[in-house]
Amino acid sequence: MDDLRELYQEVILDHNRHPRNFSAMEGASAKAEGYNPLCGDQLTLYLKSEGDQIKDLSFQGSGCAISKASASLMTEALKGKSKQEALELFKKFHHMVTGSVGEEPDPSLGKLAVFAGVCEYPARVKCASLAWHTLKNALEGKGEVAKTEG
Ligand code: ZN
């Protein structure tokens, strides 16, 4: 379990140092801002969708390693997914980071399972879920800043 934890930490640090899809997007079909006042994390999420499918995602912003790595891994995980699939994944992700310690993450979360340990640190849950709350707002066409409550 400790090896696994170390591996998870490696993935998070790698995505923090080299975030994927870290850029502003030209011609985005939706854009939303997220802010987590507890930690100071902020991000802007861009997405391009065609019908019901998410074609592309990118983000910009600054924050702690967890918020940045979470946004980076989320943009990778959701490319090509339908909006419904994205919201389903958010539900599973949220369940994982607010769940109980030692609970097996849903297999469909794939690489996102690296955040399973976050449930041990309640103050970090908002960091890990900020990108997802922002995504939800972007998908629902809400222009306002995503709050990390709930
Ligand atoms: Zn944070």
Question: Which candidate, 7, 19, 26, places its Cα nearest to that of 131?
Answer: 19
pTM summary value: 0.91
pLDDT digits (tens, 9 = 90+) for 78-109: 999 999 999 999 999 999 999 988 888 999 99
Residue 146 β-bridge partners: 34
Q: Please tell me the distance between residue 130's alpha carbon and the centre of ligand 1 in angstroms.
A: 9
Helix ranges, 18-115 (H):
65-78, 83-98
pLDDT digits (tens, 9 = 90+) for 13-43: 999 999 999 999 999 999 999 999 999 999 9
Helix ranges, 18-82 (H):
65-78
Q: Please tell me the distance between residue 110's alpha carbon and the centre of ligand 1 in angstroms.
A: 22
Q: What is the CATH number of domain 2-140?
A: 3.90.1010.10
Looking at every residue in the chain, the average pLDDT score rounds to: 92
Q: Please tell me the distance between residue 139's alpha carbon and the centre of ligand 1 in angstroms.
A: 23
Q: Please tell me the distance between residue 126's alpha carbon and the centre of ligand 1 in angstroms.
A: 7
